[in-house]
Amino acid sequence: MILLTIMNIYDLTVLDTKKQPVSLAEYKGKVLLVVNTATGCGFTPQYEALENLYKKYKDQGLVILDFPCNQFGQQAPGTEEEIVSFCQLKYKVSFPQFAKIEVNGENESPLFTYLKEQAPTEEYKGIKGKATAAMLKGISKTYKKESDIRWNFTKFLLDREGKVVGRFAPTTKPEEIEAEIVKLL
């Protein structure tokens, strides 16, 4: 078996919502916010804030990449078509959405393997955030090691060279990282 070394995010290919391959090299030179999402999650309303950030900064080079994940409480049960329809109707999502993936375990997406290697932990702020982190760790069936994703709406921020510059907990609202995004633009 030959193992390929991933040098950067642009070496990876993912599937779009129609299961067609998309090279992440298409996003070279852009500031990326990569998010694992779900349509039936307590954090699902973050789609609105994500769309607001995207509309505000897309012309300056921000791209949000949405990867639905059904690993946490079966909170993304629909087909790709149903997920896209829900997101467009409820939150007017216009940023790129992709096929459902796994973010932890033996079938995890190479994209999330790479992201977790680059930023192995996220910070949960305040008492409420730390309590949520402990709760998510306890209920997540796929959380096995510290670098694993605890729940949906974990966010990875990448600069224009594809370097991961931050990992943010599901409890971190998108607007809370706006200043960090602006610095990269």
Return the active site residues: 41
- Collapsing DSSP to helix, strand or coil, 91 comes out as helix
Mode of pairing for the β-strands spanning 155-158 and 62-68: unpaired
- Collapsing DSSP to helix, strand or coil, 161 comes out as coil
d(CA 50, CA 66): 10
Question: By the 8 A CB rule, do 109 and 67 touch?
Answer: yes
Question: By the 8 A CB rule, do 137 and 91 touch?
Answer: no
- Collapsing DSSP to helix, strand or coil, 174 comes out as helix
Phi, psi angle pair for 114, to nearest 5° = -60, -50
